Every structure is written in structure tokens, then in C-alpha cells.
Amino acid sequence: MHSDLDTVDYSRYRTIVISRPVAALPSVVLLELDRPAKYNATNARMHREASQIWSDLDRDPSVSVIVLTGRGKAFCAGGDLDMITDFRASSDALFAMYEEARSLVLGMVGCSKIIISAINGVAVGAGCALALMADITIAAENARFGDGHTRLGVAAGDHAVAIWPLLCGMAKAKYYTLTGEMLPAKEAERLGMVSKLVPEGESLAEALRVAEALARGPQHALRHTKRALNVWLRQNGVPAFETSCALEMLDFQHRDVDEGLAALQKKRPPVFPSSKL
């Protein structure tokens, strides 16, 4: 959906629906992850688009506030298993995935516009990155969060190392990233992982309400406040993320991931080769 204010061509985006839902404030842009039949799991196309869209929105002067959500019953169920199998098949594909993973996280940090996530249902892996790297996070009571990288057999490289220690402290960050346990929305709020908890079905409405209020506010002040607060991320979280992302890609070359993928596909507990050392 386009408006006369559009100065960036968004027509190339196929897995993210882009609209301006507030008629009186077209500077509020809504992004909807659009693979509801797959719980918005990121295939190769969606992962690429999620890594590129932040730079487009950042350079679009008609955009002030961005709301991100998922269509259907989930926010985003993580990476599609076929995508993981495909990019593990060649070093070039793995390197391309590495750059996309970096761009997704660093793009959200670097985007000058305020990003609000409306988290409906599960947010796992890359979906958890999209949810929690937002500046303001509005979670429905049925939301659940998980960084399941270690269950697949790779380091927690998408985002958790960057932001979780700041949000909930190192002890809880280590617990949930090492165990891969899911984190219910109420516990996430108690730990400080999300900005606000709302009843099921109300996360998008509340996110749009906040977006409208911010869109009417002083844009330079808001963006400069985001930039200043993100100094914490840039000084500590971003260097840690760069390390974790590289180590994740290194782990993707290990045979542990063969077992992790097989276990997920067959819905059985994994027996990792490295656990037998």
C-alpha cells in the first residue's frame, strides 16, 4: 500500500505487508510479517527482506514511527528449517546469511525512526530478534519468547547476546539462552524483557495508539533520545553480538546441526554428537 508521501519503492517486499493504517497520520507505518500459514517463520525471502527494510524506512522522510507485527496466530516462529538446510549447503550461502543476520539486528539499532513491536503469540529465534530489538515492545498475554539456537546446535547469535543482559540481567540471560526454554509473556514482563503487557488480541491496537502519540511528538527529540540510549547497545551489546553472530555461523558447519534439524523435523529430543565427547 502506497501513499503520495512515499519516496521509497516498497513494491519489492513480498513477505512483509507495508501500510499506513492511520489516515490522519500517514507517517505511522505498519509492517506485517505475512506467512501466517507457517506462523510467519522466516524463509529465505522474508529473512532477506527483514534485513533490508530498516535502511529503506530510515531514509524515507515520510516515516516517523514504525509498528511491526505478525499476521495470524504468531508473531514469528523463527527460521524455516528448509532455509537453514539450504544456506548450510555452501559457504557463499552461509556468508550471505551471516551478513543478513547482522543487517537485521544492526539495522534496527541504527534506524533513526522509533520501532514498536506488537507481539502476538510466539516469537522465536529471528522472530524474537525482530520482537525484542524494537525500541518499545507491546506483548499480548499469550505471547511467548524463546532463543532456541542451542537446541538446534548453534550459538545464540541472532540478538540475545546484544540485548538480553541489558533487559533482564546476565543470570537470566544465560539461563534462557543456554537452556533454550520458552519465556511466557507474564514472566517476560516481570523480568523487564518487554515494555508493556496487554490482554490477548490487543497488542496491535495498543502499539498503534503509542505510535500515534509518538508521531505527534517532537521527532528530533525522540530520535536523539533513541540514539543516546542505544549508546549502551553500541558500547557493549553490539560488540558481543558481532562475536555471537560469527560463532553461530561457525557452529552451522558442525554435524551437531544435522542432528538438531533431524530432531526438530521428527519432533524428538536431539542426541548431539558433541555431547558424547
pLDDT at residue 74, rounded to an integer: 97
pTM of the model as a whole? 0.95
pLDDT classification of 167: cutoffs 50, 70, 90: very high
List the 122-124 sheet strands across, edge first.
122-124, 144-146, 183-184
Task: Kindly give, in sequence order, each residue whose CB lies less than 8 Å from that of residue 211, ignoring residues fewer than 6 positions away.
Answer: 22, 28, 65, 66, 67, 114, 116
Query: Residue 4: is its pLDDT beyond 90?
Result: no
pLDDT classification of 111: cutoffs 50, 70, 90: very high
Average pLDDT rounded to a whole number, residues 216-239: 97
Question: Read out DSSP for 11-49?
Answer: TT-SSEEEE---TT-TTEEEEEE--GGGTT-B-HHHHHH
Q: Choose the weakest-confidence range: 4-18, 86-100, 196-210, 232-246.
A: 4-18
Average pLDDT rounded to a whole number, residues 155-167: 97
| Backbone dihedral region for residue 260 (phi beyond 0: left; psi -120 to 50: alpha; all else: beta) | alpha
Q: Which of 90, 156, 164, 81 lies closest to 125 in space, CA to CA?
A: 156
Q: Give the C-alpha separation, 68 to 185, whole Å.
A: 17
List the 65-70 sheet strands across, edge first.
16-19, 28-33, 65-70, 114-119, 136-140, 196-198
Query: Residue 48: is its pLDDT beyond 70?
Result: yes
Domains identified in the chain and CATH numbers:
16-205+215-276 (3.90.226.10)
Average pLDDT rounded to a whole number, residues 231-251: 97
Average pLDDT rounded to a whole number, residues 218-223: 98
pLDDT at residue 21, rounded to an integer: 97
pLDDT at residue 127, rounded to an integer: 97
Task: Kindly give, in sequence order, each residue whose CB lies less than 8 Å from that of residue 256, ignoring residues fewer than 6 positions away.
Answer: 153, 154, 272, 273, 274
- pLDDT tens column, 72-102: 999 999 999 999 999 999 999 999 999 999 9
Give me the helix-helix angle, 160-168 and 238-251, nearest 10°.
Answer: 130
| Backbone dihedral region for residue 241 (phi beyond 0: left; psi -120 to 50: alpha; all else: beta) | alpha
Query: Residue 1: is its pLDDT beyond 50?
Result: no
